[in-house]
Structure 1
């Protein structure tokens, strides 16, 4: 496989996974994007420039996640490895349950797609397989790649995903704390088994959530109930779980965003004012930059109806 381009740009959305009961399967693309510019170099040099989120602590060489994803994708199709110059403008918060790592992986794979001479060799199915090998589960990578709300699963064909026809009234709010929580920490507190009654109860809510997202937004509150993972995480993100409980008590469909500690509120065009009032009641009013007195940042990103996009420059 030869290279067909030496300069591409990628725009990739943030994501929120689980959505309450859809543990490791449901995910939502958020219109809050990272933008990455990739140049192939004639040398073996790797240069990574980062502005925005993670600028002070991300690796600047081969260990950078976008670089690793490009390498994996080029290897997958048998394309030659090259030197790389990356310029990353990061808006997705890191360690907050908004899919920053999956978005970086997807960005690298799509950059490789346009660097090679035959982009079809890295079609969406192949891209999802490569991303899943990095992530271990496809619930974040699928919406980052495909956009909208996705249901993802694995079978003998590997990782697979389908995009749901989300009701146009559905609107997300994301509440982002100052604190971070590593995904491995949040997953590490989950039990190996749960009571059968809790599993059955949550499976019913996951099925109802598909109906609520696609056809009946008025059912979002009961549909986002969960007994599989959120309460177990209270020990490592007590403030997050307390906020979710407070918002749900106020009638809002709040869930832990991904592995947390951000909170996702699924509301509608007609009820977003009520949801914002409930957030302000619990966190205090937000200033011009969206930050509340308690330090939480309120984002109103909308749903990214399309996933990551790459263009040759």
Structure 2
């Protein structure tokens, strides 16, 4: 069955994501217009060849231990198709270890590449894609928006992960501030308590419901809707400047939250002027260097298209 795959080449594009969004811990995620791009070719020569430019060049593995390669292999194994030789060329823009879903993007890139290579041989539907990505990532809050775009609500049930995709109000204007420092998701999660007070859980349930309404219908409610008592305060000691900037921005009336596990911070403006105001405040108050990224909400999620091996115009998506 591998013979039908050999010689195929596909182009994949996957957005960055910001999970949690304040109160929606491990549930809410937003796709953002910053992308990792990938070209994958199936060859009849065994083994893998990986070329990385942009973020992670010279740092990420370029052999079979590469996360994208592992995701391609997992997808092929899930449908019992032997893995062909692989030639990968990646151009990465999503910062690593900053709370913008870089590992989710790598996993989704590999799974989408497999979907494209297997098209016409085996079909991987959206449920299979989400299940594979969640199994590799460990939770669905980043992989769901990376796969499907927009605002996603993700949850687990007895059959595995599920999601609901929602369109975000056109007035919502995200800006991400990326520091030079990194923080591992594992460390961030280790700072979480095993249990929280009932009143804090109730508080977050109300704010999570309000946040969905704010993002979809009423952006003027974003400041109140992004309040959180479940995770950000517990993680503050690991990223003190992130915490200080978020407090400063919120005092100024801006809906600032930790992006994913951090240490990047996300401001959800209710109009474009708010994110310019946020950028000005961060420039004035930050102690270290923070890079502002004025981003849009990505509406497509991950895409894969066939790419002819001849006249390869790398990543001309």
1:171, CA displacement in angstroms?
A: 1.2
Which residue, 25, 28, 36 being the options, matches 1:26? 28
Could you say which residue in structure 1 is the equivalent of 2:314?
none
Deviations 1:2-40 (A, max 9, x none): 544621110000000000000000000001001000011
Could you say which residue in structure 1 is the equivalent of 2:288?
294
Select between 69-78 and 162-171 the one with higher mean Cα deviation: 162-171
For the Cα contact (< 8 Å) 2:75–2:114, is it kept in 1?
yes
Could you say which residue in structure 1 is the equivalent of 2:246?
244
1:117, CA displacement in angstroms?
A: 4.0
Could you say which residue in structure 1 is the equivalent of 2:220?
218
**1:198-209 alignment to 2 at 5 Å?**
198-209=200-211
* Coordinate RMSD, CA, aligned: 1.5
Unaligned 5+ runs, structure 1: 286-291
Tell me the TM-score normalised to structure 2 length.
Answer: 0.93
Matched, 1:50 2:52: yes
**What CA distance in whole angstroms lies between the structure 1 residues aligned with 2:273 and 2:155?**
35
For the Cα contact (< 8 Å) 1:113–1:119, is it kept in 2?
no
For the Cα contact (< 8 Å) 1:20–1:225, is it kept in 2?
yes
Q: After TM superposition, which residue ranges in structure 1, 4 or more long, deviate above 6 angstroms?
A: none
1:235, CA displacement in angstroms?
A: 1.2
Could you say which residue in structure 1 is the equivalent of 2:276?
276
**What CA distance in whole angstroms lies between the structure 2 residues aligned with 1:294 and 1:97?**
18
**1:86-165 alignment to 2 at 5 Å?**
86-118=88-120, 121-165=123-167
1:82, CA displacement in angstroms?
A: 1.2
Could you say which residue in structure 2 is the equivalent of 1:189?
191
For the Cα contact (< 8 Å) 1:19–1:256, is it kept in 2?
yes
Tell me the TM-score normalised to structure 1 length.
Answer: 0.94
**What CA distance in whole angstroms lies between the structure 1 residues aligned with 2:223 and 2:150?**
20
Deviations 1:125-168 (A, max 9, x none): 10000000011110000000000000000101210111112111
Classify 1:101/1:253 alpha carbon distance in 2 versus 1 (closer, same or farther; 3 Å). Answer: same
For the Cα contact (< 8 Å) 2:226–2:257, is it kept in 1?
yes
**What CA distance in whole angstroms lies between the structure 1 residues aligned with 2:247 and 2:231?**
14
